[in-house]
Amino acid sequence: MMDSIQRFFSDFMAGGGDAERPAHSLELAVAALLFEVARADYHLDTSEVALLRDLLQQRFALGESELEELMQLARQEAESAVDHYQFVSLVKEHFDYDQRCELVRMMWSLSLVDGEQHHLEEHRIRRLAELLHVSHSDFIRAKLRVQEGFSR
């Protein structure tokens, strides 16, 4: 498992992580954080997996094989990570505040897409938002925005 993750990082780092587009490891960090939210309630619903794929595809414009590999590696990382420091640090380094707020909104979308509001998912999003230095008011604003979108 670690070999495939290291190979994934190495392949994209070797491709030259230019200043406009950080190395693919940022994509893995975002995917792993989102996967962590989706599985926080110990149930990974098919609607959550489908939305996660859509969110990653829209955010990073990946090819199908890249998306599949990213999904697989993100799942492995989320299931085996002891903490999220490496992912959060990378996101904070490369995302501005508005992008971090958008990531929190994506987390809320994953949490609510299955029609359930589970306290474990909310707790995970709250903790990740704090680590990402997203204010509580923006955390709540993101939640309300997603809830409003789902109620339509």
Give the pair of three-digit tokens for residue 40: 């926080």
Q: How much is the pLDDT for 79?
A: 80
Question: Which is more confidently placed, 11 or 100?
Answer: 100
Number of domains the chain contains: 1
pLDDT tens-digit readout, 49-85:
999 999 999 999 989 999 999 999 998 888 887 778 8
CATH value at residue 51:
1.10.3680.10
Q: How much is the pLDDT for 70?
A: 93
Q: Give the phi and the psi of residue 82 in degrees, each rounded to 5.
A: -80, -40
Q: How many CB atoms lie within 10 A of CB 64?
A: 9
Give the pair of three-digit tokens for residue 43: 């149930």
Domain containing residue 29: 2-15+24-151
pLDDT tens-digit readout, 134-150:
999 999 999 999 999 88
Q: How much is the pLDDT for 31?
A: 95
